Amino acid sequence: MKLIFGLFTLFWLATPACAEQTAYAVRSTEIKQQPYSDAATVARLNENASVSIVSRQGGWVRISSRAGNGWVKMLSLRGGSTATRRGDSGLQNLFNIGRTGSSGITVATGVRGLSEEDLKHAQPDPHELEKLQNYAVNKARAEKFAREAKLKSLPLDYLPSGGKP
C-alpha cells in the first residue's frame, strides 16, 4: 500500500516537471538557421509536426524537432499538442519563456474580483478612481520615456480586415 502511495506521489510530483514546452506546425514551414526569412534553410517542418520551444525572438521561435533544430515563424505554430490541460494548473506558460525569475510565481495574497457576478453587482469606488486619475502622465513625459529606451515612431497603415488567404 505504501509502495503504491509512494509511486503515486512520485508520479504526481514528476508530472509538472515533464510538462514540455510543445507546439505544432499549422502548415508546412522551413526551419531556418537564423531568425530571418533569408537565412539558410535547415530542414522542412511538416504540417502538424510537434516541436519543442526553446526561445522566442520577435516573430520567430527557436525550436527543436525530429526534422531539425532552428528558427520558424511564430505564427506557423500553435500552442500545445494533443495534450489537453484541465483545472487550475492549466496555464502552463508554454510560451512564457525568456523572462528570468518570473515563471511559476504564486501570489500568496490575491484579490480575485471581476467575475461575471461581481460585474453585475458592481459598486463604484470613487477613491480608487481618483488614484487612477493621479497616475496619468502627459505627452511630454511619455515621449521622454520612449526616448530613454530608444523607441521610435514609425508610420504604418492599419491592415485590411480580410487579410491574405
Partner 1 sequence: MFKRSALFFVICLLPACKQGTMEFDLDKAVSIAQKARQANRSIEEPEEIRMGSGIAANLLGTSPLLADDKAQQYINQVGRWVSLHTERPDLPWKFGILASTDVNAFATPGGMIFITRGLLQKLNNESELAGVLAHEMVHVLRKHHLAALQKEARLGIASDLLGEALKDNNSQVLEKAIKAGTEVYARGLDKEDEFEADRMGIVIATRAGYDPYGLPAVLQMLETGSAQDSSLALMFKTHPAPRDRLNLLDRAMGTRFDAYSAPTQTDKRFNSEVSQYL
Residues 87-146 that bind partner 1 (CB under 8 A): 87-102, 105, 107, 110-120, 122-126, 128-129, 131-133, 135-139, 141-143, 145-146
CA distance 73 to 37: 9
Q: Output the smallest distance, CB 94 to partner 1, in A.
A: 4
C-alpha cell at 146: 520612449
Q: Between 14 and 83, name the residue whose CB sits nearer to partner 1.
A: 83
CA distance 62 to 96: 13
Cβ-contact 36, 72 below 8 angstroms: no
CA distance 53 to 97: 9
Residues in region 15-74 near partner 1 by CB under 8 A? 23, 26, 36-37, 56-59, 74
Is residue 2 a contact residue for partner 1 (CB under 8 A)? no
Q: Output the smallest distance, CB 141 to partner 1, in A.
A: 7
